[in-house]
Amino acid sequence: MAYFTLTDICSFLYLGDMTDVFWFVYILCWFFPDVKKMAQVRKESKWCENKETAYHITSPLGTITIKACNIGMHSLSQPPHLNDENFSPNKRTEVELVQEDKEFTTPPPVIKDCLYWLQVYFKNPSQVSQVPFPTICHLQSQNLSFRARVWQTLADTVGPGEVITYGALATRLRNPGAARSVGSAMSHNPVGIIVPCHRVVRSSDLGLYHGGQRQKVKLWLLKHEGVDKF
């Protein structure tokens, strides 16, 4: 078996040829066979292994889906088909939990808290600060990832009627050069509205919302909160 020193392996990093990159990965996997397995496990890992249940709530935006475990929310998503072409909000729609079958059971406290928060938000967003913030499962860890810290900071410091740029939010995280990473965190935010990624804008314009497919939704949410600058 050929023997490679650390210097030999590291030298590959300074070569731009894709063949050299291939051999670097090959050698890495040869000497460390668990690397690929560990990477795959990390990729597929979840925030929580507890049982997840989906609940549906009617709203002026359409039916919202909330997924949660007994610890807290995992996600809050708007209707999957929603886009700028079919967006038709109705402020008169009541915010209610949908009972889909006769075996419907009493929702857990986290769903009750989320339902109440949304009821207050869609009625008068300026009052949500007086309502208990729904527990979000992946924000309960003592060692939050960068994205989770972005979401937590956004939820804690940017309220209804306010907007913040990606750069300013990065500065609040004491990482002023991380504006792009903040943008990535926004595009991967699993708990929309409650973690208000719609309040994060570019310095020059509104910025994208759901990849630019729901700009009218972002505008509606901001205007609902009293922001008319866009």
CATH of the domain at 182: 1.10.10.10
Same domain, 30 and 59: no
- The pLDDT score that the predictor gives to residue 206 is 95
Residues 108 and 20 in one domain: no
CA distance linking residue 183 with residue 59, whole number of Å = 27
- Contacting residues for 62 by C-beta, under 8 A, at least 6 apart: 78, 79, 82
Q: Identify whether residues 26 and 69 lie together within a single domain.
A: no
Residue with tokens 């496990």: 41
Give the Cβ contact number of residue 50 at 10 Å: 14
Distance CA 227, CA 221 (A): 9
CA–CA distances in Å: residue 119 to residues 113, 123, 215, 221: 10, 6, 23, 14
Low-confidence ranges of the chain (pLDDT < 70): 1-47, 100-104
Q: 32 with 92, same domain?
A: no
Are 83 and 18 within one domain? no
β-bridge pairing 164-165 and 73-77: unpaired
In a domain, 229, yes or no: no
Per-residue pLDDT, 11: 45
Q: Are residues 23 and 93 in the same domain?
A: no
The whole-angstrom separation of Cα 3 and Cα 20 is: 17
- How many domains does the chain contain in total? 2
Q: Are residues 36 and 127 in the same domain?
A: no
- 64 found inside a domain: yes
Domain that holds residue 61: 53-224
Residue 19 lies in a domain: yes
Catalytic residue ranges: 197
- Give the pLDDT of residue 1: 44
Same domain, 121 and 182: yes
Indicate whether 218 belongs to any domain. yes
Give the pLDDT confidence score for residue 192 in this predicted structure. Answer: 97
Cα separation of 63 and 98, whole Å? 9
Rounded CA-CA distance 127/149 in Å is 24
Q: What is the pLDDT of residues 32-88, one digit of tens each?
A: 544 443 333 333 346 688 999 999 999 999 999 999 999 999 999 999 999 999 999
Q: What is the distance between the terminal CA atoms of the chain, rounded to a whole angstrom?
A: 65
The pLDDT of residue 101 is: 59
Judge if 59 and 15 occupy the same domain.
no
Do the domain assignments include residue 161? yes
Q: Do residues 74 and 184 both lie within one domain?
A: yes
Tell me how far CA of residue 51 lies from CA of 35, 48, 76, 100, 162, in angstroms. 29, 8, 16, 19, 36
On whether both 97 and 206 belong to a single domain, the answer is: yes
Non-local CB neighbours of 222 within 8 Å, separated by 6+ positions? 163, 198, 199, 230
Amino acid 48: pLDDT = 86
Residue 106: the pLDDT is: 81
